Amino acid sequence: MNMRVVAVLMMTVFSQPALALFEPLFDDGTWSAEMNGEWRYFNDPGEFGQSRSALSFSAQAEYYTDWNDGVDSFTFTPFMRIDQIDDERTHLDLREAYWGHVSDNWETKVGFTRVFWGRTEFLNLVDVVNQKDFVEGDTTEKLGQPLMQLSLVHEVVILDFYVLTGFRERTFQGEDGRLRAPIGIDTDNARYEGVDQNNIDFAVRWSQPLTDDLEMAFSIFSGTNRDPRFDFNYDLFDPKLIPVYTHMDQFGLELEYIYEGWVAKLEAVSVETPKESYTAAVGGVEYTFDGVFESDLDVTLIAEYLWDERGSASPGFFEHDLGFGTRITFNDEQSTEILVGGIFDFDTDEALYSLEASRRIGESWRVEILATIVAERGEQELGQTVSEIATILADSGFVADDLSAQFAIDLITDIIDEKGLLFLFTEVNTYDDFVNTLQQVQRLADTDRKLSILESDDYVQVEVKYFY
Amino acid sequence: MLNKMKLRSLCSSLVAAALITLPVIGQAETPEAKGLAVFEEADRRGDGYVDSKSGMLMILKDKRGNTSKREMRVKGLEGGDKDGDKTLMIFDTPKDQKGTALLTFAHTNKDDDQWLYLPALKRVKKIASKKKSGPFMGSEFSFEDIGGSEVEEYEYKFLRDETVDGKDFFVVESYPKDKYSGYTRIVSWIDKEHYRTFKAEFYDRKKSHLKTLSATGFKLYNDKFWRPDMLEMINHQTGKSTVLESKDTVFMSGLKSSDFNKNSLKRAR
């Protein structure tokens, strides 16, 4: 679908009659580009036989032109990635392709673009306009969103209206990719429940400083939830998770208070979906020590608490976790930076550690190193027989949909009841596969061990970027 | 890297910090009053620029003579009676920082407001602004050098008259009141004719001579505003130096306050 949108837009822009109309767009513009060679090395071989090391290349170009003295502008930013092992990670996206128009106290954008909402460091709950480009690995990467935006400015108050004209499905790692879920995600057969695939969504954001030191933003989103739910396809020989997209209404609040070297931040959301309504929040503080040890170094300490009312039933990894981080800014000629952090769940002892470091080389190159470690908490007890697993699953509440849950239980019960069904498994190995699939479902169902699905995916990543 | 920039009204002041001027003063004043009068006049002469635009090239040199460059553009809007100056600074190189932009609202009676735009994330970050003494973009200029300052932020003392290369100068010492300043005192050479700072020596917290600034290539804009083409800051303790060249400076180009808000920060080019 992404590709189709890109293709249609390209055809529109480059067709002969259109070319005449769009010609001013190709006069006097400037191009810039970023090329990125990436190598990942995983500490363990993939649980599902995936490769330990992977090369990847990505490129993002940007074309910009403006006319009428900068009142009108056109920005075009295509993105491409080629991945050595993961077909799903090899992808094209139109990050931006929009016309912008600026007036004294309002401005507008029409086309594909990316929007950021939020304040906190570890997770941005309020940031829901764009779909995530999940395969990128960095959860802050987003797909371009087709939209119309009107932004009204009155002194320091900004009021943004968005009409989101088209939905983008989330990207997910493929079978051969690393950092994938234990059961593959069937992105070709995503389902829509109670929403159209091409629903038009709406969003509003009002941002305003309340005092000199306190900034606030309030946002409303009504449309297709960018976060899908997953259903199991109950095909025990070709197991898949089906992304299911539903409607969501979200109210978001952002607060940021700055005092001397302190910054206090909060993001909170209240969400209504056909299935549930809940609140979630991320809040915390950071403090910066300037010029530590009489050097040019700045050291920023960050602590945030991540909370979700649904507790372990929440689909995200972080529902009652503490995040800690230290950012070291060297303020040197090469803009060297190091960020070390960890997120800890004290109820389950799960922890995720990461280290990021980057430094410019010469005028046009930059090297970035990233390492991520998932700390486990002992072995998970997986059911060894079909009946054991069925019992565990029935109790897990994993399947949100009652009907399909019942179907799953019935199916498994039938299999157990009619032992004769075993004749289907002509070889003993097939029966093992069958149990294995159910064990993977059980892993996914274990909400106390969410990070366990990544436990063999500790890795180091080196990126070399060239800026043109 | 741009975290915590402290820069006040840049256009007027980057340069204006180096251009301090002096009123005609009475004979019987104390050295403190005479020093203050110099800086008050300097400030007065900088008034009325309305807005400005300029391009800047910064050349960083290390001890061994290796150089690296930074290019940026600066737009400034002069504040009114109640409002301080507004400044928008856009970085063009190094290329990995291209599109990064910094918006500053200077205030005379409270801390400045600063927002940094990170183009890769499309994110605007508010900056806690207490930092003054740290390096600006890895250069020998610190944020307080770049940011310029209000007259009230220092105490002054007139030292002596001095003639250098046939030019008459006032030599005035100033002492920052701000506890976050990296300096204990600054000695400035200000010419008697147009009250421009040709040279300044900066003394660090240990009171030793840290840096020397020299300004060259003064040009007169709009028949009123003197600006140097080139500033050079030499760090005597590290042997490094930074040259800052400005070009294409234009005053009163018709910038509006709507060119200085968070939306304009995001689309700055």
How do residues A226-255 score in pLDDT, each as one tens digit?
999 888 777 777 888 899 999 999 999 999
CB contact, 8 Å: A360 with chain B? yes
Can you tell me the mean pLDDT for A302-327?
88
CB contact, 8 Å: B110 with chain A? yes
pLDDT at A347: 80
H/E element, B11 = helix B10-16
H/E element, B32 = helix B31-46
Can you tell me the mean pLDDT for A323-335?
92
Residue A224: pLDDT band by 50, 70, 90 thresholds?
very high
pLDDT at A339: 96
Residue A382: pLDDT band by 50, 70, 90 thresholds?
confident
Can you tell me the mean pLDDT for A402-410?
58
Q: Given an 8 Å threshold on Cβ–Cβ distance, is B1 in contact with A335? A: yes
Range scoring the smallest mean pLDDT among A33-47, B19-33, B39-53: B19-33
Residues of chain B positioned with their CB less than 8 A from the CB of A215: 126
**What does the pLDDT look like over A272-284, one tens digit per residue?**
999 889 999 999 9
Cα A261 to Cα A173, A264, A289, A325, A374: the distances in Å are 40, 10, 7, 16, 32
pLDDT at B160: 93
Residues of chain B positioned with their CB less than 8 A from the CB of A258: 126, 128
- C-alpha dihedral, A271 to A275 to A276 to A282, nearest 10°: -50
Q: Given an 8 Å threshold on Cβ–Cβ distance, is A262 in contact with B98? A: no
For B138, which of A32, A151, A331 is closest by C-beta distance? A331
Interface test with B, best of A126, A331, A367 (most B CBs within 10 A): A331
pLDDT of residue A295 exceeding 90? no
Residue A444: pLDDT band by 50, 70, 90 thresholds?
confident
CA-based nearest residue to A191, from A244, A131, A248: A244
Higher pLDDT, B49 or A25: B49
Nearest CA in chain A to B143: A331
CB of B209 closer than 8 Å to CB of B236: yes
pLDDT at A429: 54
Rg (CA), chain A: 24
CA distance B256 to chain A (A): 8
| Cα of A270 vs its chain's centroid, Å | 19
Q: Which residues pair with A40 in a beta bridge?
A: A54, A461
Query: Topology of domain B10-266, per CATH?
Result: outer membrane lipoprotein receptor (LolB), chain A (2.50.20)
Nearest CA in chain B to A216: B126
Can you tell me the mean pLDDT for A207-235?
90
Scan residues 245-304 of A and list those with Cβ closer than 8 Å to B: 256, 258-263, 288, 290-291, 296, 298, 300
Q: Given an 8 Å threshold on Cβ–Cβ distance, is B128 in contact with A258? A: yes
Q: Which residues pair with B231 in a beta bridge?
A: B215, B244
Nearest CA in chain B to A331: B138
Highest average pLDDT, of A358-367, A418-427, B77-86, B132-141, comes from A358-367
Residue A16: pLDDT band by 50, 70, 90 thresholds?
low
Q: β-pairing, A241-245 with A229-232?
A: antiparallel
Residues of chain A positioned with their CB less than 8 A from the CB of B98: 32, 467
Higher pLDDT, B186 or B28: B186
pLDDT of residue B10 exceeding 60? no
Can you tell me the mean pLDDT for A77-95?
95
Higher pLDDT, A359 or B1: A359
CB contact, 8 Å: A51 with chain B? no
pLDDT at A17: 61
Residue A431: pLDDT band by 50, 70, 90 thresholds?
low
Q: pLDDT over 90 for what percent of chain B?
A: 40
Give the Cα separation of A107 and A121 in Å (integer): 28
pLDDT at A374: 87
Rg (CA), chain B: 18
CB contact, 8 Å: A366 with chain B? yes
Higher pLDDT, B107 or A96: A96
- Count of beta carbons in the 10 Å neighbourhood of residue B196: 23
Looking at every residue in chain A, the average pLDDT score rounds to 85
pLDDT of residue B162 exceeding 80? yes
> In B96-134, which positions are buried (b, 16+ CB within 10 angstroms) versus exposed (e)?
bbbbbbbbbbbbbeebbbbbbbeeeebbbbbbbbbbbbb
Q: Which residues pair with A284 in a beta bridge?
A: A265, A304
pLDDT at A72: 92
Query: Topology of domain A2-380+446-467, per CATH?
Result: Porin (2.40.160)
Residue with tokens 């700045």: A298
CB contact set of A284 (below 8 Å; sequence gap of 6+): A120, A121, A122, A264, A265, A302, A303, A304, A305, A323
CB contact, 8 Å: B212 with chain A? no
Range scoring the smallest mean pLDDT among A21-35, A56-70, A112-126: A21-35
pLDDT at A414: 60
For A153, which of B97, B128, B261 is closest by C-beta distance? B261
DSSP letters along A297-327, please? -EEEEEEEEEEETTGGGSSSS-SEEEEEEEE
**What does the pLDDT look like over A17-28, one tens digit per residue?**
655 556 666 667
Residue A98: pLDDT band by 50, 70, 90 thresholds?
very high
Residue B50: pLDDT band by 50, 70, 90 thresholds?
confident
Q: pLDDT over 70 for what percent of chain B?
A: 86
CB of A62 closer than 8 Å to CB of A47: no
pLDDT at A409: 63
Give the Cα separation of B28 and B19 in Å (integer): 25
Residues of chain A positioned with their CB less than 8 A from the CB of B180: 290
Q: pLDDT over 90 for what percent of chain A?
A: 56
pLDDT of residue B249 exceeding 70? yes
Residue A130: pLDDT band by 50, 70, 90 thresholds?
very high
Higher pLDDT, B42 or A136: A136
pLDDT at A2: 56
Can you tell me the mean pLDDT for B74-90?
85
Can you tell me the mean pLDDT for A3-22?
61
Higher pLDDT, A415 or A40: A40
pLDDT at A207: 95
| Cα of A414 vs its chain's centroid, Å | 39
Residue A331: pLDDT band by 50, 70, 90 thresholds?
confident
Can you tell me the mean pLDDT for B128-139?
74
Q: β-pairing, A191-192 with A241-245?
A: parallel
Secondary structure of residue A109 in the 3-state scheme: strand
Q: Given an 8 Å threshold on Cβ–Cβ distance, is A263 in contact with B126? A: yes
Q: pLDDT over 70 for what percent of chain A?
A: 82
pLDDT of residue B98 exceeding 60? yes
Domain with CATH 2.40.160.10 in chain A: 2-380+446-467
pLDDT at A358: 96
Give the Cα separation of B221 and B242 in Å (integer): 25
Residue A337: pLDDT band by 50, 70, 90 thresholds?
very high
CB of B61 closer than 8 Å to CB of B43: no
CA distance B241 to chain A (A): 12
pLDDT of residue B166 exceeding 60? yes
Can you tell me the mean pLDDT for A182-210?
92
Interface test with A, best of B75, B96, B103 (most A CBs within 10 A): B96
Residues of chain A positioned with their CB less than 8 A from the CB of B93: 363
pLDDT of residue A34 exceeding 90? yes
What is chain B's length? 269
Can you tell me the mean pLDDT for B149-166?
88
pLDDT at B131: 62
Looking at every residue in chain B, the average pLDDT score rounds to 83
Can you tell me the mean pLDDT for B119-124?
88
pLDDT at A447: 67
Cα B217 to Cα A210, A216, B214: the distances in Å are 45, 46, 10
Residues of chain A positioned with their CB less than 8 A from the CB of B69: 363
pLDDT of residue A287 exceeding 90? yes
pLDDT of residue B13 exceeding 80? no
